[in-house]
Amino acid sequence: MSLHVIKHPVADHILSLLRDERTGAAEFRNLSRQVTSLLVMEATRDLPSVPTEVKTPMETTRCRKLDRTVVVVAIVRAGMSMVETIVDLLPSVAVGFIGMERDEETAEAHSYYCKLPPLKDRRVLVVDPMLATGGSAAQVISMVYDQGATDVNFLNIVAAPEGVKVLQDKFPDLIIYTASLDRELNDKKYILPGLGDFGDRLYGT
């Protein structure tokens, strides 16, 4: 498994605002779209493309077009905040949803919904802004591999070292892109320094 932490001053700036407890839901949603666009650019850097001819108003020129369907698998709820940005950026995208919820007492995740498009021979981007214990992401990534995916990336905004280790141990071929590798989990399994409960901040719950 490889871990890529985005090192970019714009990403750092967006994170400073996402972490700020004074940031309201509307701005929070906007910032999460902005940081997602930086993550998806990294995760698609090696996507195959094919040559094509395009007639500009000036002359005909050779260009390149993307040649691969990408599947986004959003871990509902918080992962939904990352879907629209990716769908808007890429020409051929299918979207799957897997609902996961952590028990508030034990922090153990259980799945309550799953709808996936075909995954074979496609780049699969599993998206969830928070990786804490790794329980939610590990279950979803297992489901995705079980459904035939072989090329899987996990796009995340804030990761805890504990969650990274879980994914690292379970999925040797997985590639993780995150905007921040934070310090640790607290005793309630929230990320420190983190940004609180992403879903609650996103949807004002």
Residues identified as active-site? 102, 106, 197, 200
Site for ligand PRP in 152-181 (CB under 6 A): 163
Question: Which of 199, 201, 177 is closest to 76 using CA atoms?
Answer: 199
Q: Does residue 198 bind ligand PRP (CB under 6 A)?
A: yes
Q: Does residue 35 bind ligand PRP (CB under 6 A)?
A: no
Nearer to ligand PRP, 49 or 158 (CB): 158
**Sign of dihedral through CA atoms 162, 165, 169, 175?**
positive
Q: Does residue 132 bind ligand PRP (CB under 6 A)?
A: yes
Candidates 38, 40, 78, 144; binder of ligand PRP (CB under 6 A) is 78
Residue 137's SS3 state is helix
Candidates 81, 133, 156, 178; binder of ligand PRP (CB under 6 A) is 133
Please name the helix (run of DSSP H) or strand (run of DSSP E) that holds residue 161, with its range, or none. Answer: helix 161-170
State the minimum distance, in angstroms, from the CB of residue 16 to ligand PRP.
20
* Distance of alpha carbon 102 from alpha carbon 136, whole angstroms: 8
State the minimum distance, in angstroms, from the CB of residue 76 to ligand PRP.
7
Biggest CA–CA distance in the chain, Å, is 64
State the minimum distance, in angstroms, from the CB of residue 47 to ligand URA.
29
Q: Token pair of 144, please? A: 């995705």
Q: Which does 71 bind (CB under 5 to 8 A by kind): ligand URA, ligand PRP, none?
A: none
* Distance of alpha carbon 117 from alpha carbon 97, whole angstroms: 9
Alpha helices in 44-118 (DSSP H): 83-89
State the minimum distance, in angstroms, from the CB of residue 98 to ligand PRP.
10
Q: Token pair of 143, please? A: 């489901």
* Distance of alpha carbon 15 from alpha carbon 31, whole angstroms: 8
Q: Which does 116 bind (CB under 5 to 8 A by kind): ligand URA, ligand PRP, none?
A: none
* Residue numbers at the binding site for ligand PRP (CB under 6 A): 75, 77-78, 100-102, 107, 109, 128, 130-137, 163, 189, 197-199
